[in-house]
Amino acid sequence: MESATLECCDVLSPQERRIQDELAGRESVYLKSRQRPYAILKSFEGQRPRIDVERAIYFTQSMKETEGQPLILRWAKAMRRIAENITVYIDPDQLLVGRAGCPGRYGILYPELDGDFLGLAVEQLPQRSESPFNIDPKDARLLIEEVAPYWKGKTFHEDLAVALPAETLPLTYHPENVLLSRYIVNETASFRSSLQWVHDFEKVVRRGFASIRDEARERLEALDPFSPVNNMEKRPFLEAIIIDCEAIITWANRHADLADKMAGQERDPRRRAELERIAAICRRVPAHPARSFHEAMQAQWFTQMWSRIEQKTGTVISNGRMDQYLYPFYKKEQEAGLLDEDQATELLECMWVAMAQFIDLYISPTGSDFNEGYAHWEAVTIGGQTKDGRDATNDLTYLFLRSKQQFPLNYPDLCARIHARAPERYLWEVAETIKEGSGFPKLLNDEEIIPLHLAKGATFEEIYDYSGSGCAEVRMPNRDTYTSGCAYINFAAALEMALYNGRMKLYGDERIGLETGDPRQFTTFDEFWQAYLTQQTNFLKHAFIQQHIIIRLRHQHFAFPLGSALHDLCMEHCLDLHTPQIPGGINLGYFECIGYGTVIDSLAAIKRRVFEEKKLTLAQVIEALEANFEGYEDVRHILMNVPCYGNNDPYADQIGKAIDQAAVQFAQKYSKELGVHLDLRYVPFTSHVPFGRVVSATPNGRKAWSPLSDGSSASHGADVNGPTAILLSNFNTKNYDYRERAARLLNVKFSPKTVAGEEGTAKLVSFLRTFCDLKLWHIQFNIINKETLLAAQKDPEKYRGLIVRIAGYSAYFVDLSPDLQDDLIRRTEHNAI
Amino acid sequence: MAPPATAIKGTVFSIQKFSVHDGPGIRTIAFLKGCPLRCRWCSNPESQRSVPELAYNRDRCLTFDNCIRCLEICTPGAIHRDHDDRPRIHWDLCTQCLLCADACPSKALTVYGYEVTVGQVLDEVERDGAFYARSGGGLTLSGGEPLHQPAFAVALLAEARRRRLNTAMETCGHCRGEDLLAAAPHLHTLLYDVKIMDAALHRQYTGVSNELILDNLKRVRAALPQLPITVRTPVIPGINDDAAAIAAITDFIAGIPNLRYEMLAYHRMGKPKYGYLGRDFEISEPSLAEGSLTQLKKMVRQRHPHLDLVE
């Protein structure tokens, strides 16, 4: 055993062993073949990110000058301003170029979104304990003096806050200070201008922006010059497309110029050749179709970085099906002997280390609470099926998995699609990668996602070709359209309001929910259940009201010429991607259930102990809750030891299914009024921690202000029947007869010993196959010894490189708040018997 | 009319899901209560007695500060206040009425063992059916000694086969030969313990001689030549962890056709449970010396190159 701290663990995961090797001064075996990505990684690893203000400044300058013009045109002009002026960089050792800000780890600002937080942020970001940022005092002054004042009264967040009805406001924000979230029915539209998104990258690499620009020009010339709609709507749209396509080409060409200049000064002949090659590639793409793997990678990278500069998309733009759209380039060059596996892997890893430097900066405290550990999810999707329903895995698929096994980095998120006929080799490699222990890849299940989206209106061809997007969602890049960030609903708060007649302990006597009566007077469980349901339904009502406002406000604040240029439907109808209704589009949104396990277990405890066994009265339960169980440990344990969610126990699972059903029924009835699919989702990011901070003690024995259960996972330590039971409880609680289902995120933690050796891999593969059979949406794993997490908490310096799975993404453990660290440690670890 | 086989009752002390180390695939283990052996190293002491019994884990107790339910309910006066404000159980006074366990909120006082029917066990086992289908797993009977409740065990296996479950059984072999021969035809895999070859030592450490065990092994092999049987030896430091002890076992089984052989490393995980039951743990040896299992395997491979040894 390598380390004293881990003596008790029989088996270490490869990640754990690597960290122990590093502590012992042994070099990674993969270091030699990966000098370039390692060198780039070392240049920023562990660095506190900086805020770069250039994007915010040029964007604001241009917007000041274009007031009164159509929004999409203003946006494109702002992008042109940025393209012409923003500093361009070429990093040492890098083969791919394109940054949105200064060297090292950095974040950029979007004042049009949440500029009213700027003052607060500049003050607090360097001090905040989770995911802090540095900012240059000169830049801070520029922001406060030049950027913030312009946006005052113009931001999306301010417009939203004043539009909320009096009954909705106190569930959303603190009524006296809208900068503070209530974490009850929490809007997320104000910290991202849309939900996660994936571009049609195939269009980028096959066609290029010059061709899209030319198409827009032709269409512009063909417009009916007398039509008011053509003049006032289509013309500005097409002009904006032309301007933005030229902007990204300009930006690429400035990199070519810089590369040429640097090549002229470079003494090292090898690097000089690389720079010359970079220059040639940047003149070619993304204007024109890519001809090589390297060109395709560069075209994709320019496009996603330009997207990031243009707009803050939730979780940043995902990478799409990289093993599909890159494969023809890879295959052609490999067959011609121009590219080998190592060279292709090097280019991929150049992209990963570039990605890791861009931090998705959330300046509002709420946004940051949702995304601890510098989270971003530019998920790379691999595997799955082709447009015509054949297995899609190829040689490149395996390169992505190999890179994840061998190059320890938490970006990008890797998303492996699986389906009933997924080849055994693929599942083995996926299982081996999972066993590495850093949480990659997450799995998305074609057998659930494809039929569900057919029911939602997709064609076979479209949904067979879906990409993973964000932490657990999917996109069809030419069919679905932008959706605003949606409400996160604290179901545990609804439970608290059922206990306290519409009030919450944290907010004292303020009535926030509905008055459903004093539960101490209830004589049947059904009365209590109805009270809970009334509160839950009231939350849904206000979530949908929020969404109604958001949908109608969003397109007045945001435009996305780049995203529109790449979308078939936007181009066809000359409509910006933010338009609330795009003909032929499918709008896939969701509302989020937080605290599912907490609520199920609490209701099960009340049902069994109070109304069935009469071991306790509800008055006794409430007395114990109000005391946060202090002096009532016996009551707490009586409540805890009932059937809980996550054990494949019908008693608890029936309650879970009823909660889910009430929510999907509400969605079925009302989401069509909104013109979007607002469906029930269970994907918390890290929000179950801040949502827990507003909820007092709950009848499942949970202490006040501690985290709620996450996603569709069980409450902490409540799942005592092993991992098969967790999957089956998920299955049992889903309402498969409704299409108003969205993603369910599922965490499973194994000890490395459980899956050790070839036999362990075989069993993990069969576990994944069963996950697929059960038509669950998503699953992800932490394969780690609890002792490692405890050691890392105690000695963060030594465990800087330890990557763990959070919620749809992986992050460095030491970057997380102590609350979230504890939360991870308390997730039940499943040992084999 | 005789009751259906699914109504036959027996006593189990645990049904555990997601077992990946006892038989093929992802399995569920039903632990049957009661064992004719008293192995000194037994890691499941709660498996030994045939009837449900009280267990007390003081670490889970909330202390008398918070709760005195057990103290109030115990009529024979077997529960006393200990110096750390927790119950001390006078096991000699305990009548095993088990009321205290029912009253205990924190499960510090619990009961090992409960009565169930064959149907109930298999319904529970089948709840993980989706996992067996993909992994080739199924039901494993363990114990205790499953054949200590022969009618129950045989009915479980027969009904499991009827439900197309893959079946395995772990046995110590100390049972009536007829019972073993009644159970074996319903098995896909038999896991058969041979612990010590020396009859006197076997009696010293397990309480019984090994003659019946060795004889039963030969009988079941002869009766069912094709049944996969893995003979297993828990390797216990100071008792059978030397080359001579293991060589004696492998010499014996090499003479019986078509057996696999596996050595299991001893672990002390069962130790706290002795305390819960108010019993002493008699074995004080530490864990196996590092590498000793590897050494023993090497020896076995040299001695019996044709023996199917589990790595």
Q: Which residue in the block uniquely carries the two structure tokens 């050792």?
A: A93
Is the pLDDT assigned to residue A5 strictly greater than 50?
no
- Residues from chain A contacting residue B26 (CB–CB below 8 Å): 724, 763, 766-767
User: What integer best gives the mean pLDDT of chain A?
Assistant: 92
Between the alpha carbon of residue A11 and those of residues A2, A8, A431, the distances in Å are: 11, 9, 17
Q: Residue A810's pLDDT band (boundaries 50, 70, 90)?
A: confident
Task: For chain A, say whether B25 makes contact (Cβ under 8 Å).
Answer: yes
The rounded distance, in Å, linking the Cα atoms of A565 and A542 is: 34
* The pLDDT value given to residue A89: 97
pLDDT digits (tens, 9 = 90+) for A341-361: 999 999 999 999 999 999 888
Residue pair A90/A258 in contact by the 8 Å Cβ criterion: yes
Task: For chain A, say whether B106 makes contact (Cβ under 8 Å).
Answer: yes
Element (H, E) at A237: helix A235-265
The rounded distance, in Å, linking the Cα atoms of A241 and A310 is: 13
- In A691-802, beta strands by DSSP E: 741-744, 747-750, 778-783
Is the pLDDT assigned to residue A26 strictly greater than 80?
no
pLDDT digits (tens, 9 = 90+) for A770-791: 999 999 999 999 898 888 888 8
Measured in angstroms, the CA of A640 and the nearest CA of chain B are apart by: 8
pLDDT digits (tens, 9 = 90+) for A272-326: 999 999 999 999 999 999 999 999 999 999 999 999 999 988 778 899 999 999 9
Lowest pLDDT segment from A4-13, A359-368, A474-483, B216-225: A4-13
Check A722 against B18: CB less than 8 A apart: yes
Of the candidates A478, A555, A572, A569, which has an alpha carbon nearest to the alpha carbon of residue A234? A572
What is the distance of C-alpha A288 from the center of its chain?
Answer: 31
Task: For chain A, say whether B119 makes contact (Cβ under 8 Å).
Answer: no
Residue B26: closest C-alpha in chain A: A763
Check B21 against A631: CB less than 8 A apart: no
Residue A701: closest C-alpha in chain B: B106
Element (H, E) at B244: helix B243-254
Check B130 against A635: CB less than 8 A apart: no
Task: For chain A, say whether B66 makes contact (Cβ under 8 Å).
Answer: yes
Q: Which of A1, A637, A755 to mutate to test the interface with B (most CBs of B within 10 A)?
A: A637
A707 or A6: which carries more pLDDT confidence? A707
A372 or B202: which carries more pLDDT confidence? B202
Task: For chain A, say whether B16 makes contact (Cβ under 8 Å).
Answer: yes
Q: How many CB pairs under 8 A join A and B?
A: 81
Residue B65: closest C-alpha in chain A: A631
Check B21 against A770: CB less than 8 A apart: no
- A447 an active-site residue? no
* The pLDDT value given to residue A121: 80
Task: For chain A, say whether B310 makes contact (Cβ under 8 Å).
Answer: no
Cβ neighbours, 10 Å, residue A386: 14
Lowest pLDDT segment from A122-131, A163-172, B48-57: A122-131
* The pLDDT value given to residue A797: 75
Q: Do β-strands B9-19 and A473-475 pair in parallel, antiparallel, or remain unpaired?
A: unpaired
- In B33-136, beta strands by DSSP E: 53-56, 79-81, 87-89, 109-112, 114-117
* The pLDDT value given to residue A3: 35
CA torsion B220→B221→B227→B232, rounded to 10°?
Answer: 90
- Residues from chain A contacting residue B17 (CB–CB below 8 Å): 648, 721-722, 724-725
In this prediction, residues A539-561 reach a mean pLDDT of: 95
Measured in angstroms, the CA of B257 and the nearest CA of chain A are apart by: 26
Residue A113: phi and psi, rounded to 5, are: -90, -55
Check A724 against B17: CB less than 8 A apart: yes
Is the pLDDT assigned to residue A1 strictly greater than 50?
no
Task: For chain A, say whether B130 makes contact (Cβ under 8 Å).
Answer: yes
Task: For chain A, say whether B267 makes contact (Cβ under 8 Å).
Answer: no
Is the pLDDT assigned to residue A512 strictly greater than 60?
yes
Q: Residue A4's pLDDT band (boundaries 50, 70, 90)?
A: very low
- Residues from chain A contacting residue B105 (CB–CB below 8 Å): 634-638, 641
Percent of chain A with pLDDT over 90: 72
Burial A502-529 (b: 16+ CB within 10 A, else e): bbbbbeeeeebbbebbebeebeebeebb
First CA to last CA across chain A, in angstroms?
23
Residue A755: closest C-alpha in chain B: B20
Check A721 against B17: CB less than 8 A apart: yes
* The pLDDT value given to residue A188: 87
Partners of B11 in the β-ladder: B115
Measured in angstroms, the CA of B71 and the nearest CA of chain A are apart by: 14
Of B20, B62, B136, the CB nearest to A637: B62
Q: Give me the tens of pLDDT residue by residue for chain B, a chain 311 residues long.
A: 677 889 999 999 999 999 887 778 999 999 999 999 999 999 899 999 999 999 999 989 999 999 999 999 999 999 999 999 999 999 999 999 999 999 999 999 999 999 999 999 999 999 999 999 999 999 999 999 999 999 999 999 999 999 999 999 999 999 999 999 999 999 999 999 999 999 999 999 999 999 999 999 999 999 999 999 999 999 999 899 999 999 999 999 999 999 999 999 887 778 888 989 999 887 766 677 878 899 999 999 999 999 999 98
Given A429, A473, A592, A740, the catalytic residue: A473
Check A631 against B66: CB less than 8 A apart: yes
pTM, two decimals, is: 0.92
Measured in angstroms, the CA of A202 and the nearest CA of chain B are apart by: 36
Whether residue B144 has a cis bond before it, omega within 30° of 0: yes
Check A833 against B19: CB less than 8 A apart: yes
Check B134 against A766: CB less than 8 A apart: yes
Of the candidates A506, A587, A560, which has an alpha carbon nearest to the alpha carbon of residue A180? A506
Task: For chain A, say whether B288 makes contact (Cβ under 8 Å).
Answer: no
Task: For chain A, say whether B270 makes contact (Cβ under 8 Å).
Answer: no
Q: Residue A796's pLDDT band (boundaries 50, 70, 90)?
A: confident
Of A634, A641, A830, the CB nearest to B67: A634
SS3 state at A247: helix
Measured in angstroms, the CA of B128 and the nearest CA of chain A are apart by: 7
Check A770 against B131: CB less than 8 A apart: yes
Check A767 against B69: CB less than 8 A apart: no
ipTM of the complex: 0.91
Task: For chain A, say whether B141 makes contact (Cβ under 8 Å).
Answer: no
Check B131 against A724: CB less than 8 A apart: yes
Given A9, A245, A350, A471, the catalytic residue: A471
Q: Which of B14, B15, B16, B17 to mutate to test the interface with A (most CBs of A within 10 A)?
A: B17
Is the pLDDT assigned to residue A6 strictly greater than 70?
no
- A346 an active-site residue? no
- In chain B, beta strands by DSSP E: 9-19, 27-32, 53-56, 79-81, 87-89, 109-112, 114-117, 138-142, 166-171, 189-193, 229-235, 259-265, 308-309
Check B130 against A830: CB less than 8 A apart: no
Check A725 against B130: CB less than 8 A apart: no
